[in-house]
Amino acid sequence: MAMAEVALRRRTRARRPVVKTVEAENFDLIERYEIVKGFGSVEILWNRNSLENVYTVVEPNLTDYEKMQTGILPHEMEMVIPNLKKFKIGSKEIDIGNLLDAYVDAYNVKLTKDSKEKIKYYLKRDFEGLGPIEIIIKDPYVEDISCNGYQTPIFVYHRKYGSVKTNVRFSSRAMLDSYVIKLAQICGKEVSVSEPILDGATPQGHRVQAIYGEEISTKGSTFTIRLFREKPFTPVELIKFGTASAEMVTYFWYMLENLSSALIAGVPAVGKTSTMNAILMLVPPRTKIFSIEETREINILHQNWVATSTREGEFDIQDTGEASNLRIDMFELVKMAMRQRPTYIVVGEVRGREASALFQAMSTGHTTYSTIHADSMEATVNRLESNPLNIPRIMITYLNTVIFNKFVRSGDSVIRRITEVDEMSGFNTETGEVVYNKVFTYDAYKGKHSFMGYSNLYKKVQFLKGLTASQFKQEFEFRRKLLEEMARSDITNYIEINKIISTYYKDPDQAMSMASGELE
């Protein structure tokens, strides 16, 4: 019996990823916050030796006996109930914690109340969550998670501290391989030696990219998870966090209202999609939006919104084959969108032939929004013209506005800012160059956004509304103040923002009272 217990302990240790504990004497605590009440928290520590921050996951310590039971109980429970996680009585799904309580009582398992609660936490974490990174997944400050191999620290991108290493790691190659297989199953996909690349999304919308084994990765399995924010950034939060000024967000409001097409440009992970989500919350009520993407990232929170994504398959839409095997790409979805007469067509990112369809849609009067990897207007034009996008330079002028997101250093940290807003002004037939006008810029030294003095959009709005320059300025200032009041009153909930903006079109003064907190 003793030998069997030793074997079980060894098996338990082998199957569980190891969470390393740092030596407290070498670290200073910077910040601590709780993620799972009573069980899981995060500590940001300063390593005095390496002079760097460390993201530390703090979870309950288990005794050897508790570790053994954590390994034994799931196996024994599965023998009684084959599908542990999804076991149901009638139409009711049983919570794994309640199931453990019932099993421990029925089979008289010797556990104290404290031990049972700790084991329950780990079972729920491993069976219903994402195991050793579940605390990181639930951390609202974390944007993405990177594992670069076994026996190496997992890295996270933290909104306050940037890229930091954690105290979480996989202690063996087998554990990491098994974990990547689990990620694939959660995403409804498979990985193997013959097909080692995983590109998918979890049911919660987190984007997962992974490599299985050593076929194409010299360090073995790796994965990156980009976390999907259930509550996307709002235009008011863009102002609160300094990403954009109130004047700039007012410009975006007019841009959407007057059906101007735009691209949000920037390098990877600079917040392009978050900016697009926030801007699109200013869409007038009841107008129709049709969004297209490969992996779910767009989250507009608009009632009249058709959300679509591509489908993998064995055949292109032009090829012959079973209907169920057809591959539906972004190009086909853009064509489909044009037939459904939406007010706005939104594409997650332009990277291929869908760009041609998108610019064709612009040329026929559709309003489109998308993101692109580029860090300047010149780079944007070059990217659009080059393979595989191949947009003729004359067609690029159908685009109205390009918004640039960039990383900006502020002291010891790196922050995200909208650094430039440019308007397309036309095409110079003599030089062959695209002519554009800078509307807003950002001074990193002063930490301030500035209006450059002229906007084609403002002239267009004045003309369409029949306003004089002073009347337009008065209306613009009212909208800017409305947004500033929402930021001052900390109104960041989309429903409240939408209600205030909808009220503005009927009764501007009442909307201002709501934004100021004078009216509920």
How do the pLDDT tens digits run along the chain, 520 residues long? 343 333 334 333 334 444 444 445 689 999 999 999 999 999 999 999 999 999 999 999 999 988 888 888 777 776 655 554 454 444 445 677 777 877 777 777 888 889 889 988 998 898 888 999 999 999 999 999 999 999 999 999 998 898 999 999 999 999 999 999 999 999 989 999 999 999 888 988 898 999 999 989 988 999 999 998 777 889 999 999 999 999 999 999 999 999 999 999 999 889 999 999 999 999 988 899 999 988 778 888 788 999 898 877 655 555 555 545 577 888 888 888 888 889 999 998 988 888 888 898 898 889 999 999 999 999 999 999 999 999 999 899 999 999 999 999 887 778 899 999 999 998 888 888 899 999 999 999 899 999 999 999 999 999 999 999 999 999 999 999 999 999 999 999 988 998 999 999 999 999 999 999 876 5
Domains and CATH numbers, the chain: 2-171 (3.30.450.380), 235-457 (3.40.50.300)
Give the C-alpha separation, 215 to 213, whole Å: 6
Q: Is the omega angle on the peptide bond into residue 388 within 30 degrees of 0, that is, cis?
A: yes
CB 434 within 8 A of CB 395: no
Angstrom distances, CA of residue 517 to CA of 103, 234, 488 = 52, 18, 10
SS3 379: helix
pLDDT of residue 435: 93
CA atoms within 13 A on the CB side of 191: 28
CB 449 within 8 A of CB 248: yes
Give the C-alpha separation, 213 to 329, whole Å: 28
Give the C-alpha separation, 204 to 184, whole Å: 14
pTM for the full predicted model: 0.80
Give the C-alpha separation, 37 to 34, whole Å: 6
Q: How many residues does the chain have?
A: 520
What phi, psi does 404 have (nearest 5°)?
A: -110, 125
SS3 248: helix
Give the C-alpha separation, 170 to 489, whole Å: 45
pLDDT of residue 428: 85
Q: Which residue has the tokens 């934004």?
A: 515
- Let me know if 256 is exposed, middle or buried by CB neighbors in 10 A (0-12, 13-18, 19+): buried
